[in-house]
Amino acid sequence: MKKLLFLFVMTHLQSLSADWHTIYAHGILDNKSQINRFKQAISTNASAIEFTDAQSATDWSFNRCIQSICSLFLDTTINRANMHMGQLSDINTLAQKLQAVDQKDDIILYGCSRGAATILNTLAEYNPKNVQALVLDATPADMPATIKPFLAKIGINPCYALTIFQMLFPAYPTNCQTPLQAIANITNKNLPILLLHSTTDTKVPVQHSYQLYQEFKNQGFVNVELVIFSEGNHSYLLKNETIKPLYLHAVHSFYKKYNLPHDATWTQQDFEWKKYRPENTESLIFEYEKNLKNMYQQTIKKYITATLIATTITTALLLNKHNISKL
């Protein structure tokens, strides 16, 4: 009886273990307080980094003007000059945090959106030995590619995504390594990795996680899990009451599967990994690219049709006016 009680207490209180630490990396238009949204999915001592774009601009510039307008009307901080979108300063911020924690600690890196992208880019550059697992929520495989659906809808060729992205976010560097490309430079192929995404994510399409999952497999990673949810907004999956229990079940089952600190409340039943992981990720990626191309072509056809109709009507009106003036 005492042995059973001991095992029960140890299972439920693993989060108090001093030698485990979770570092959380937040998305854009947010700050380190975003970790509070994910606290039920974290089972160790934890801390969050804060990227430089979460800080208000102090100089009088066009960037400061945009920030003031967004703060007034959108109630959020948009510091474009410091939005490195998972590159440069963002990588440095996470790297410094990794150096600051006790080097004897085992680290779990947990990130959402830009934060998740930063995690992959940082690992590729530094390959820290004490990182024991990754939890990546709504990860962009390629930051500029996230705006491709929007460009296609308004009739701009998605191939110009990088150029337009750099106009929107001038701090994003040219010729940088994308999270998708970074995977090839991560050396620990046994690293447990959990990818989470919603099919209804309108900020980062779910196909980005398909691409990352496929690339991890192609690069020889052996402990990669992919969980796709049928609904839920970007970075707010734990605010969806339908998805929340499934999300927590998935995350803590992942921890348990790879002998990481976990909350046994959410692991009473085995998680059905295959049920939430599409088997045909390659074909889904191909279909997505095909749909993007078709969307762009359909938009152009609509523009051409509208232009022809407008030209025809205008010409007819001008001719009619000309004929009337002759009478």
Q: Domain containing 306: what range?
A: 281-327
CATH of the domain at 80: 3.40.50.1820
pLDDT recorded at residue 8: 45
Q: Cβ(2)–Cβ(27) under 8 Å?
A: no
User: Torsions phi, psi of 25, nearest 5?
Assistant: -120, 120
CA distances from 201 to 274, 283, 288 (A): 21, 19, 14
Q: Which two tokens stand for residue 315?
A: 């010409």
Angle at 215 between CA 130 and CA 153, to 5 degrees: 120
pLDDT recorded at residue 18: 47
Residues 65 and 177 in one domain: yes
Q: What is the pLDDT of residues 244-257, one digit of tens each?
A: 999 999 999 999 99
Q: Which two tokens stand for residue 197?
A: 């995404």
pLDDT recorded at residue 25: 98
Residues 187 and 320 in one domain: no
pLDDT recorded at residue 16: 44
Residues 110 and 42 in one domain: yes
Residue 25 DSSP SS3: strand
CA distances from 227 to 24, 124, 239 (A): 19, 23, 17
Q: Tens digit of pLDDT per residue, the chain (327 long)?
A: 444 444 444 444 444 444 999 999 999 999 999 999 999 999 999 999 999 998 765 565 555 555 555 555 555 667 888 999 999 999 999 999 999 999 899 999 999 999 999 999 999 999 999 999 999 999 999 999 999 999 999 999 999 999 999 999 999 999 999 999 999 999 999 999 999 999 999 999 999 999 999 999 999 999 999 999 999 999 999 999 999 999 999 999 999 999 999 999 999 999 999 999 998 999 999 999 999 999 999 999 999 999 999 999 988 888 877 677 666
Residues 303 and 166 in one domain: no
pLDDT recorded at residue 17: 47
> What b-and-e string marks burial along 37-55, b requiring 16 or more CB atoms within 10 Å of the CB?
bbebbbbbbbebbbbbbbe
**For residues 196 and 110, what is the distance between their CA atoms, to the nearest angstrom?**
11
Residue with tokens 């232009």: 307
Beta strands 131-137 and 193-198, pairing class: parallel
pLDDT recorded at residue 80: 83
Nearest C-alpha neighbor of 266 from the set 250, 254, 249, 241: 249
Mean pLDDT of the chain: 90
Residues 104 and 235 in one domain: yes
Nearest C-alpha neighbor of 194 from the set 148, 138, 149, 234: 138
Neighbours of 252 (CB within 10 A): 23
DSSP state of 189: T
pTM for the full predicted model: 0.87
Number of domain units in the chain: 2
Residues 187 and 76 in one domain: yes
Residues 128 and 169 in one domain: yes
pLDDT recorded at residue 66: 55
Nearest C-alpha neighbor of 35 from the set 51, 46, 44, 43: 46
Residues 85 and 45 in one domain: yes
Give the total residue count for the chain: 327
**For residues 174 and 10, what is the distance between their CA atoms, to the nearest angstrom?**
49
The pairs formed by 239-242 with CB atoms below 8 angstroms and a separation of 24 or more are 239/37
Q: What is the pLDDT of residues 121-151, one digit of tens each?
A: 999 999 999 999 999 999 999 999 999 999 9
Q: What is the pLDDT of residues 22-60, one digit of tens each?
A: 999 999 999 999 999 999 999 999 999 999 998 765 565
Residue 236 DSSP SS3: coil
Residues 266 and 291 in one domain: no
**For residues 145 and 125, what is the distance between their CA atoms, to the nearest angstrom?**
22
Angle at 157 between CA 155 and CA 160, to 5 degrees: 130
Answer positive or negative: Cα dihedral of 114, 116, 120, 126. Answer: positive
Residues 146 and 157 in one domain: yes
Residues 274 and 323 in one domain: no
Residues 295 and 268 in one domain: no
Residue with tokens 């999956």: 237
